[in-house]
Amino acid sequence: MEERESAGYKHRLVLVNREEATLEGVLHLESFDDQEVVVESELGMMAIRGENLHIRQLNLETGDLAIEGLIKSIDYMEDSGFSGFKGRGKGLLGRLLR
């Protein structure tokens, strides 16, 4: 943990009662709907899944994201890939050309 902190990463996830998540260190919002929000963070791709998800705040300049709704899972994608993403994190062109 200290290694990542000393490397200058700013990544923080706060989950309150599975109804509100705030995330620091967001670089890019890949996709979102009422069941899934996929973002690229400073420590890799991640998916937040649930029901009735709404983005309450997004500021890519500061890297802040706030989500409301029933949060059922939070998954990080490792560098080697993660089968749960099925082509996500590649951008629109990458998904079209696979």
For 12-37, how does the pLDDT look when each residue is reduced to its tens digit (9 = 90+)?
999 999 999 999 999 999 999 999 99
Q: How far apart are CA 33 and CA 23, in angstroms?
A: 17
Q: pLDDT category, 7, cuts 50, 70, 90?
A: low
- The per-residue pLDDT for 87 is 47
Residue 82 has pLDDT above 50, yes or no: no
Cβ neighbours of 88 (radius 10 Å)? 18
pTM, full prediction: 0.72
Domain that holds residue 24: 2-79
Tokens of 83: 């089968």
Find where tokens 């009662």 sit: 17
Structural domain includes residue 14? yes
The count of domains in the chain is: 1
Structural domain includes residue 28? yes
Structural domain includes residue 91? no
